[in-house]
Amino acid sequence: MKIQKKSINILISYWLLIIFFLISLIIIVGGLTRLTDSGLSITKWELFSGILPPLSSDKWDIYFKSYKEIPEFKLQNYSMNLLEFKFIFWWEYIHRLLGRLIGLIFIIPLVYFTLKKGIKKNYKYYFIFLLICFQGFIGWFMVKSGLTDKTDVSHYRLSLHLGIAFIILCLTLWNYFKISKINTSGKKIPFYLPNLFFFIIFVQIIIGAFVSGMDAGQIYNTWPSMNGNYFPDNSSVKELFKINVLNEPSLMQFIHRNIAYLTIIIFCFIIYFVFKNKNFYYLKKTVFLVFFALLTQVFLGILTILYGAQILIASLHQIGSIFVYLTLFSSMMVSYLRALGERFDVKSDIGLAQRPERIVILSIGTMIGHAIHLSVPITLAIVASLSFLTAIQRLVHLYQHTRSP
C-alpha cells in the first residue's frame, strides 16, 4: 500500500512539473504578446469556436475587419496591412491556445487521479483548476478594456491577469514541494527560504506590470538618480501613501527601482543564512548562480530605463524576470534532488547541467552580453531549461532506485 501511494505521488509530481513548465511558458508568451501589442488582435471571446485558426482568406478578412473597428487600429495602426495583422494575430492565438491546453492537461489527469487512484485532499488541485478557469475570464476582461475607447488595456487588469498567473504558478510549485516532502539531516527542508524570495519576485513583477501598462519606463531615463534626484521631482513623498499612487507613472517607477534594491539586499541575507546553516550545504553554490541571474536582471532593468524602454531591451527585461524565476526554481531543484539522493544512499550527481556546466554557460553569456543583445535572456533560458531537464533526470533516477521496498 505504501509503495502504491509512493508511485501515485511520483505520477502527481511529474504532472505538477509539466503544469509548472506550461504556466511558465504561457507567462513568457503573454509578455511577448503584450510587448508586440498583439493582445487586442482577436476581438471576440471564442472559447470553443476559436480553437482553430483562420484557414481561409475569407476567415482572415473577418478577423481583420473586426480588428479595424477598435480604437487601436483607428488611432494607432491605421496603416497596418493583412500580413502585419497576421503577425500580431498569431501571438494572441498561441497565447489563448496555450491557455486551453493548460486547462485540458490539468483537468484530465486530475479526474483520472481522483477516480482511478483515489487521491485524498484533492480539493487543493480543483481549486487551482478553478483559478485557471478564472484566469481565462480575467484575460478576456483585460482585453475588453482596450476595445472601446482606449488603445491599450487597463494596467489594473493587466496586473491582475499577471498576478493570478503567478499565484497559479506558486500554488503548483507549493503543491509539488508538499507531495515531495523529504527529510534531510533529520529535519525537513525549510521551503520557506525559496518561498520568501519567490514572494519578493512576485511583488516586483506585479509592480513591473503596472510600470509596463502605464509606459512608466519611458520617463526618468537616468540611473541611479531620477533626473538628478533620488525621488521624482513631479511628486511628493505623501503621494506614496495614497491609493492614487497606482495611477502615477513616476511613482510606480520609483517603487519598482527600490524593490529591486530591496530584493538584492534580502537575497544577500539568504546567502548568509545558507552559508551559516550547515544543513543547507547543498544550496551553497546554487544561491550564487541565482544571485548572478538576479544581478543580470537588475542590469537589464537599468538598460531599460537608460534606453527609454525600447521594445528590444524592454522585452529582454520582461522575459528575463520569468527566467530568473525559472532559474531559481530549476537550480534549487537540481541541488535538492542530489541531497535527497544522499538520504537514500543513491548517487544523484547526473544530468545535463550540473554546477560546472551552469557556471560556464552563465559566464559565456555574460562575456558576450555587451556584443549580442539577446545573449543574456537566452543564457538564462538555456540555464533554466537545462536545469529543469536535469531535475527531471534526477527525479527519474531516484524513482528507479527507490521504488522497491
- Quick: pLDDT tens for 147-206: 887 777 787 888 888 888 888 987 887 787 777 654 444 444 455 656 666 777 778 888
Residue reference for cell 535538492: 336
| Spatial separation of the C-alpha atoms in residues 390 and 336, rounded to whole Å | 12
Using alpha carbons, select from 355, 356, 377 the residue that is nearest to residue 366.
377
What local confidence, expressed as pLDDT, does residue 105 receive?
93
C-alpha triplet 95, 99, 101: angle, nearest 5°:
115
Residue 130's pLDDT band, with cuts at 50, 70 and 90, is very high
What local confidence, expressed as pLDDT, does residue 320 receive?
63
59 or 272: which leads in pLDDT: 59
pLDDT in tens, 301-340: 787 777 765 655 666 666 666 666 666 666 666 666 666 5
Ranges 55-59, 62-66, 359-363: which has the least confidence: 359-363
What local confidence, expressed as pLDDT, does residue 230 receive?
85
What local confidence, expressed as pLDDT, does residue 133 receive?
92
Element housing 110 (H / E): helix 82-112
Backbone angles phi, psi at 229, to 5 degrees: -125, 155
What local confidence, expressed as pLDDT, does residue 179 receive?
75
Determine the angle formed by the axes of helices 375-402 and 284-306, rounding to 10 degrees. 150
pLDDT in tens, 87-118: 889 989 999 999 999 999 999 988 888 887 65
10 or 250: which leads in pLDDT: 250
What burial letters (b/e) apply to 9-42, b meaning 16+ CB within 10 Å? bbbbbbbbbbbbbbbbbbbbbbbebbbbbbbbbb
Q: Answer whether 0.75 is exceeded by the pTM.
A: no
Where do the domains of the chain lie, and which CATH numbers do they carry?
1-181 (no CATH), 182-405 (1.20.120)
Determine the angle formed by the axes of helices 375-402 and 311-343, rounding to 10 degrees. 20
List beta partners, residue 187.
184
Asked if residue 175 lies in contact with residue 265, where contact means CB atoms within 8 angstroms, the answer is no
What local confidence, expressed as pLDDT, does residue 397 receive?
66
What local confidence, expressed as pLDDT, does residue 327 receive?
62
Instruction: Output the CA torsion sign for 253, 319, 102, 338.
Output: negative
CB within 8 Å of 134: residues ≥ 6 apart: 164
Residue 1 clears pLDDT 50, i.e. is over it: no
Please state, for a pLDDT cut of 70, what percent of the chain lies above it. Answer: 66
Q: For all residues of the chain together, what is the average pLDDT? A: 75
Residue 73's pLDDT band, with cuts at 50, 70 and 90, is confident
Backbone angles phi, psi at 188, to 5 degrees: -70, 140
**Would strands 187-188 and 183-184 be described as parallel, antiparallel, or unpaired?**
antiparallel
What local confidence, expressed as pLDDT, does residue 189 receive?
43
Please state, for a pLDDT cut of 90, what percent of the chain lies above it. Answer: 8
What local confidence, expressed as pLDDT, does residue 99 receive?
92
Residue 274's pLDDT band, with cuts at 50, 70 and 90, is confident
pLDDT in tens, 251-260: 888 888 888 8
